[in-house]
Amino acid sequence: MTDPDTVLPTISARERPAGAPGGWSRREFIKGVIASSATVSSVSYFGAGCAAPLPAQTGGVERLLSLQVNGQTRRVDVAPNETLATTLRYKLGLTGTKIGCNRAECGACTVLIDDMNHYACSTLTHRVRDKEITTVEGLESADGTLHPVQQAFIDELGPQCGFCTPGQVMSAVALLRSNPNPTRAEAQRAMSGNLCRCGAYDHYLNGVMRAAGATTMTASVDGGEG
């Protein structure tokens, strides 16, 4: 029969508690997992891409947060080492935010935090408790009209498989909020953190420039009416 200690080979000797020469017992391991509110599967999940999980908190961390997401206050129970991508997708049901690499390389998880684009897979949710978070679900207007960037991406045939599209949209929106009339080179640079396995970069870039034109036209119309 398998010794329970042999199924925990990833815990190094220096992490073993004093007085446990043979390593962690199964009971100690389970107690540790419960204390850190992490499941066995999520330990390997986080270990796959993000920084190592924080050590178990003993001082008491306020886990119930009020997050500002898409203009709403959302109360949610968040583990200390939980990423924003996990909270959005698996706690709040906002699955438009994708997880690709889960290590700050692909941009699929891009969301806006106070109007700046950030990788949600590499952002701890507890760090953004006082920020305004916008996901792709928060872009369209109440009557269902798409954001100009979303519409422009459709018009320019940006989405191929579509997996990278939400992240592309969020980076484009962040760009146009800070620079409503970018040059093509500026747009290219701003979108460089979003990878597309389908290689639709030119389509997305065309979409950004089309949306910039729409945004500029809208701004000038608004200005004329004001």
**Residues at the contact surface with ligand FES, assessed by CB under 6 A:** 99-102, 104-109, 119, 121, 159-164, 196-198, 200
- Comparing CB distances to ligand FES, the nearer of 66 and 192 is 192
Other residues' Cβ atoms within 10 Å of the Cβ of residue 63: 14
Residue 86 to residue 51: CA distance in whole angstroms? 14
- Comparing CB distances to ligand FES, the nearer of 24 and 139 is 139
- Comparing CB distances to ligand FES, the nearer of 70 and 194 is 194
Q: How far is CA 155 from CA 149, 152, 173, 206, 209, in A?
A: 10, 5, 16, 9, 12
- Comparing CB distances to ligand FES, the nearer of 112 and 121 is 121
Residue environment code for 142-157, b if the CB has 16+ CB neighbours within 10 A, otherwise e: eeeeebbbbbbbeebe
CB of 23 to ligand FES, least distance (A): 34
CB of 83 to ligand FES, least distance (A): 9
CB of 45 to ligand FES, least distance (A): 12
- Comparing CB distances to ligand FES, the nearer of 24 and 134 is 134
Q: Torsions phi, psi of 75, nearest 5?
A: -85, 130
Closest CA to 138 of 163, 107, 170: 170
CB of 48 to ligand FES, least distance (A): 11
CB of 186 to ligand FES, least distance (A): 21
- Comparing CB distances to ligand FES, the nearer of 79 and 109 is 109
SS (H, E, C) 153-180: HHHCCCCCCCCCHHHHHHHHHHHHHHCC
CB of 50 to ligand FES, least distance (A): 9
